[in-house]
Structure 1
Amino acid sequence: MKSWKTAVMAVGLLLGTVAAHADNGLELAKKSGCLSCHSVDTPKVGPSYKSVAAKYRGQPGAEAKLIAKVTRGGSGSWGMMPMPAKGGNANLSEEDIKNLVKWILSR
Protein backbone atom coordinates (compact mmCIF):
# COMPACT_ATOMS: atom_id res chain seq x y z
CA MET A 1 0.00 0.00 0.00
CA LYS A 2 2.82 2.39 0.88
CA SER A 3 4.61 1.86 -2.46
CA TRP A 4 1.35 2.54 -4.31
CA LYS A 5 0.95 5.89 -2.52
CA THR A 6 4.56 6.75 -3.25
CA ALA A 7 4.06 5.98 -6.95
CA VAL A 8 0.95 8.16 -7.12
CA MET A 9 2.77 11.02 -5.41
CA ALA A 10 5.74 10.69 -7.78
CA VAL A 11 3.48 10.84 -10.85
CA GLY A 12 1.72 13.89 -9.42
CA LEU A 13 5.01 15.68 -8.86
CA LEU A 14 6.22 14.80 -12.35
CA LEU A 15 3.05 16.12 -13.98
CA GLY A 16 3.29 19.30 -11.95
CA THR A 17 6.90 19.77 -13.05
CA VAL A 18 5.98 19.27 -16.73
CA ALA A 19 3.17 21.82 -16.46
CA ALA A 20 5.45 24.33 -14.72
CA HIS A 21 8.12 23.82 -17.40
CA ALA A 22 5.55 24.54 -20.12
CA ASP A 23 4.36 27.70 -18.36
CA ASN A 24 7.93 28.88 -17.73
CA GLY A 25 8.93 28.35 -21.37
CA LEU A 26 6.00 30.34 -22.69
CA GLU A 27 6.58 33.11 -20.15
CA LEU A 28 10.26 33.25 -21.07
CA ALA A 29 9.37 33.44 -24.78
CA LYS A 30 6.97 36.31 -24.04
CA LYS A 31 9.41 38.15 -21.78
CA SER A 32 12.28 37.78 -24.25
CA GLY A 33 10.36 39.13 -27.23
CA CYS A 34 10.39 35.82 -29.14
CA LEU A 35 6.65 35.98 -29.75
CA SER A 36 7.12 39.07 -31.92
CA CYS A 37 8.21 36.72 -34.72
CA HIS A 38 7.14 33.25 -33.54
CA SER A 39 4.07 31.59 -32.06
CA VAL A 40 3.41 28.17 -30.62
CA ASP A 41 1.00 26.97 -33.32
CA THR A 42 1.08 29.13 -36.44
CA PRO A 43 3.89 30.67 -38.49
CA LYS A 44 4.40 34.42 -38.26
CA VAL A 45 7.60 36.11 -39.44
CA GLY A 46 9.40 32.96 -38.28
CA PRO A 47 8.22 29.37 -37.96
CA SER A 48 5.89 28.16 -35.23
CA TYR A 49 7.48 26.34 -32.33
CA LYS A 50 5.49 23.23 -33.20
CA SER A 51 7.02 23.29 -36.71
CA VAL A 52 10.51 23.66 -35.28
CA ALA A 53 9.94 20.78 -32.86
CA ALA A 54 8.58 18.57 -35.66
CA LYS A 55 11.51 19.35 -37.97
CA TYR A 56 14.14 18.49 -35.36
CA ARG A 57 12.33 15.65 -33.57
CA GLY A 58 14.58 12.59 -33.31
CA GLN A 59 17.62 14.29 -34.82
CA PRO A 60 20.86 13.72 -32.94
CA GLY A 61 22.28 16.99 -31.66
CA ALA A 62 19.06 18.93 -32.32
CA GLU A 63 19.22 20.78 -29.01
CA ALA A 64 22.82 21.93 -29.58
CA LYS A 65 22.00 22.96 -33.18
CA LEU A 66 19.08 25.08 -32.09
CA ILE A 67 20.99 26.63 -29.19
CA ALA A 68 23.68 27.68 -31.68
CA LYS A 69 21.05 28.99 -34.14
CA VAL A 70 19.33 31.09 -31.49
CA THR A 71 22.64 32.34 -30.09
CA ARG A 72 24.23 33.29 -33.43
CA GLY A 73 21.15 33.88 -35.57
CA GLY A 74 21.13 33.02 -39.24
CA SER A 75 19.01 32.60 -42.34
CA GLY A 76 18.00 30.04 -44.91
CA SER A 77 16.50 27.41 -42.62
CA TRP A 78 12.92 28.68 -42.78
CA GLY A 79 12.86 31.11 -45.67
CA MET A 80 14.49 34.39 -46.55
CA MET A 81 13.91 36.30 -43.30
CA PRO A 82 17.03 36.08 -41.12
CA MET A 83 16.81 35.54 -37.38
CA PRO A 84 19.01 38.00 -35.50
CA ALA A 85 21.43 36.71 -32.88
CA LYS A 86 19.58 36.01 -29.62
CA GLY A 87 16.39 36.93 -31.45
CA GLY A 88 17.45 40.56 -31.26
CA ASN A 89 17.52 40.49 -27.45
CA ALA A 90 21.14 41.12 -26.42
CA ASN A 91 20.20 40.48 -22.77
CA LEU A 92 19.10 36.87 -23.41
CA SER A 93 21.40 34.67 -21.31
CA GLU A 94 22.86 31.31 -22.32
CA GLU A 95 20.72 29.68 -19.63
CA ASP A 96 17.57 31.33 -20.99
CA ILE A 97 18.44 30.17 -24.51
CA LYS A 98 18.93 26.59 -23.30
CA ASN A 99 15.61 26.69 -21.45
CA LEU A 100 13.80 28.16 -24.47
CA VAL A 101 15.21 25.54 -26.83
CA LYS A 102 14.26 22.69 -24.48
CA TRP A 103 10.76 24.12 -24.24
CA ILE A 104 10.46 24.59 -28.02
CA LEU A 105 11.59 21.02 -28.67
CA SER A 106 8.96 19.75 -26.22
CA ARG A 107 6.10 21.16 -28.31
Structure 2
Amino acid sequence: MKKAFFILCISVAVSACGGSSSTKGGSDSAATKETSADADTTVAKTSTEAAGGAAGAAAGEKLLAANDCGTCHKVDTKVIGPAFQDIAKKYDASDANVDMLAKKVIDGGSGNWGTMAMTAHPGLAQGDAKEIVKYILSLKK
Protein backbone atom coordinates (compact mmCIF):
# COMPACT_ATOMS: atom_id res chain seq x y z
CA MET A 1 0.00 0.00 0.00
CA LYS A 2 2.79 2.43 0.93
CA LYS A 3 4.63 1.57 -2.28
CA ALA A 4 1.52 2.30 -4.40
CA PHE A 5 0.99 5.62 -2.59
CA PHE A 6 4.65 6.55 -3.14
CA ILE A 7 4.41 5.74 -6.85
CA LEU A 8 1.21 7.79 -7.12
CA CYS A 9 2.89 10.78 -5.42
CA ILE A 10 5.90 10.57 -7.72
CA SER A 11 3.63 10.30 -10.78
CA VAL A 12 1.66 13.37 -9.73
CA ALA A 13 4.84 15.36 -9.07
CA VAL A 14 6.28 14.42 -12.46
CA SER A 15 2.99 15.26 -14.21
CA ALA A 16 2.73 18.60 -12.40
CA CYS A 17 6.19 19.57 -13.62
CA GLY A 18 5.19 18.95 -17.23
CA GLY A 19 5.51 22.65 -18.10
CA SER A 20 3.23 24.73 -20.25
CA SER A 21 4.00 23.41 -23.72
CA SER A 22 0.95 23.29 -25.95
CA THR A 23 2.37 20.30 -27.83
CA LYS A 24 1.93 17.80 -25.04
CA GLY A 25 1.05 14.24 -25.89
CA GLY A 26 -0.17 11.17 -24.09
CA SER A 27 -2.11 11.41 -20.87
CA ASP A 28 -1.37 15.11 -20.36
CA SER A 29 -3.47 15.91 -23.42
CA ALA A 30 -6.33 13.80 -22.08
CA ALA A 31 -6.16 15.64 -18.75
CA THR A 32 -6.25 18.97 -20.58
CA LYS A 33 -9.30 17.92 -22.58
CA GLU A 34 -11.04 16.75 -19.40
CA THR A 35 -10.32 20.06 -17.69
CA SER A 36 -11.63 21.94 -20.69
CA ALA A 37 -14.80 19.87 -20.75
CA ASP A 38 -15.32 20.42 -17.01
CA ALA A 39 -14.71 24.13 -17.45
CA ASP A 40 -17.18 24.37 -20.35
CA THR A 41 -19.91 22.84 -18.20
CA THR A 42 -19.18 25.23 -15.36
CA VAL A 43 -19.14 28.31 -17.58
CA ALA A 44 -22.66 27.50 -18.73
CA LYS A 45 -23.82 27.40 -15.08
CA THR A 46 -21.92 30.46 -13.91
CA SER A 47 -23.63 33.83 -13.70
CA THR A 48 -20.83 35.84 -12.09
CA GLU A 49 -17.80 36.76 -14.15
CA ALA A 50 -14.61 38.49 -13.14
CA ALA A 51 -13.56 41.77 -14.72
CA GLY A 52 -13.04 41.29 -18.42
CA GLY A 53 -16.43 39.79 -19.25
CA ALA A 54 -17.05 36.66 -21.25
CA ALA A 55 -14.13 37.29 -23.61
CA GLY A 56 -11.71 37.57 -20.68
CA ALA A 57 -13.10 34.43 -19.06
CA ALA A 58 -12.79 32.50 -22.35
CA ALA A 59 -9.16 33.59 -22.74
CA GLY A 60 -8.38 32.53 -19.17
CA GLU A 61 -10.14 29.19 -19.70
CA LYS A 62 -8.04 28.48 -22.80
CA LEU A 63 -4.81 29.40 -21.01
CA LEU A 64 -5.76 27.22 -18.04
CA ALA A 65 -6.45 24.26 -20.34
CA ALA A 66 -3.14 24.78 -22.17
CA ASN A 67 -1.13 24.60 -18.93
CA ASP A 68 -0.75 21.84 -16.35
CA CYS A 69 -3.35 23.24 -13.91
CA GLY A 70 -5.71 20.30 -14.46
CA THR A 71 -3.15 17.94 -12.97
CA CYS A 72 -3.78 19.24 -9.45
CA HIS A 73 -7.08 21.15 -9.74
CA LYS A 74 -10.58 20.49 -11.04
CA VAL A 75 -13.46 22.95 -11.30
CA ASP A 76 -15.65 21.56 -8.52
CA THR A 77 -13.59 18.82 -6.86
CA LYS A 78 -10.49 19.00 -4.65
CA VAL A 79 -7.71 16.91 -6.15
CA ILE A 80 -4.24 17.75 -4.85
CA GLY A 81 -4.99 21.46 -4.75
CA PRO A 82 -8.31 23.12 -4.03
CA ALA A 83 -11.20 23.12 -6.49
CA PHE A 84 -11.33 26.26 -8.63
CA GLN A 85 -14.82 27.00 -7.27
CA ASP A 86 -13.45 26.89 -3.71
CA ILE A 87 -10.76 29.41 -4.68
CA ALA A 88 -13.46 31.63 -6.19
CA LYS A 89 -15.46 31.41 -2.95
CA LYS A 90 -12.46 32.47 -0.88
CA TYR A 91 -11.37 35.48 -2.97
CA ASP A 92 -13.40 38.23 -4.62
CA ALA A 93 -12.38 39.36 -8.11
CA SER A 94 -10.66 42.59 -7.01
CA ASP A 95 -7.58 43.80 -8.88
CA ALA A 96 -5.50 43.30 -5.72
CA ASN A 97 -6.58 39.64 -5.42
CA VAL A 98 -6.02 39.00 -9.13
CA ASP A 99 -2.48 40.40 -8.83
CA MET A 100 -1.76 38.46 -5.63
CA LEU A 101 -3.10 35.14 -6.96
CA ALA A 102 -1.33 35.54 -10.32
CA LYS A 103 1.92 35.99 -8.40
CA LYS A 104 1.17 32.81 -6.42
CA VAL A 105 0.54 30.88 -9.66
CA ILE A 106 3.91 32.00 -11.03
CA ASP A 107 5.91 31.67 -7.78
CA GLY A 108 4.19 28.57 -6.35
CA GLY A 109 4.15 27.99 -2.61
CA SER A 110 2.01 26.60 0.17
CA GLY A 111 0.17 27.54 3.31
CA ASN A 112 -3.19 28.95 2.24
CA TRP A 113 -4.75 25.56 1.43
CA GLY A 114 -2.68 23.20 3.56
CA THR A 115 0.88 21.94 3.48
CA MET A 116 1.00 20.63 -0.12
CA ALA A 117 3.08 23.06 -2.17
CA MET A 118 1.85 24.31 -5.52
CA THR A 119 4.38 23.96 -8.30
CA ALA A 120 5.86 27.25 -9.52
CA HIS A 121 5.18 28.29 -13.12
CA PRO A 122 8.04 30.73 -13.78
CA GLY A 123 7.63 30.50 -17.56
CA LEU A 124 4.04 31.76 -17.39
CA ALA A 125 3.67 35.42 -18.34
CA GLN A 126 2.16 37.72 -15.70
CA GLY A 127 -0.66 38.72 -18.08
CA ASP A 128 -1.52 35.08 -18.80
CA ALA A 129 -1.51 34.24 -15.08
CA LYS A 130 -3.92 37.14 -14.47
CA GLU A 131 -6.28 35.88 -17.20
CA ILE A 132 -6.25 32.40 -15.65
CA VAL A 133 -6.98 33.85 -12.20
CA LYS A 134 -9.81 36.00 -13.57
CA TYR A 135 -11.35 32.91 -15.13
CA ILE A 136 -11.02 30.94 -11.88
CA LEU A 137 -12.60 33.76 -9.89
CA SER A 138 -15.47 33.87 -12.39
CA LEU A 139 -16.45 30.36 -11.25
CA LYS A 140 -17.92 31.67 -7.98
CA LYS A 141 -21.22 29.92 -7.27
Q: TM-score, normalised by structure 1?
A: 0.70
Distance 1:62 1:75 in 2: 17
Pick the aligned partner of 2:75 from 13, 26, 40. 40
- Return structure 1 stretches of 4+ with deviation > 6 angstroms: none
Give the secondary-structure state (helix, strand or coil) at the position aligned to 2:115: coil
Q: Following TM superposition, by how much is the alpha carbon of 1:84 offset from its aligned partner in structure 2, in angstroms? A: 1.7
In the alignment, which residue of structure 2 is the partner of 1:83? Answer: 118
Does residue 104 (structure 1) correspond to residue 136 (structure 2)? The answer is yes
Give the secondary-structure state (helix, strand or coil) at the position aligned to 1:70: helix
Distance 1:57 1:77 in 2: 15
1:92 to 1:60, Cα distance in 2 relative to 1, 3 A = closer
In the alignment, which residue of structure 2 is the partner of 1:63? Answer: 98
Is there any run of 5+ residues in structure 2 with no aligned partner, and where?
A: 1-51
Distance 2:56 2:93 in 1: 20
* Aligned-residue identity in percent: 41
Distance 1:81 1:54 in 2: 20
Distance 1:44 1:83 in 2: 12
Is there any run of 5+ residues in structure 1 with no aligned partner, and where?
A: 1-16
* Larger CA Rg, structure 1 vs 2: 1
Q: TM-score, normalised by structure 2?
A: 0.55
Q: Following TM superposition, by how much is the alpha carbon of 1:68 offset from its aligned partner in structure 2, in angstroms? A: 1.6
In the alignment, which residue of structure 1 is the partner of 2:87? Answer: 52
Offset from partner CA, 1:45-85 (integer Å, 9 cap, x none)? 10111100100126672112211211211101111110121
- Superposed CA RMSD in Å reads 2.2
In the alignment, which residue of structure 1 is the partner of 2:46? Answer: none
Distance 2:128 2:114 in 1: 25
| Count of residue correspondences | 88
Structure having the larger proportion of residues in helix: 1
Offset from partner CA, 1:16-66 (integer Å, 9 cap, x none)? x84444443222112111111111111111011110010012667211221
Distance 1:26 1:53 in 2: 14
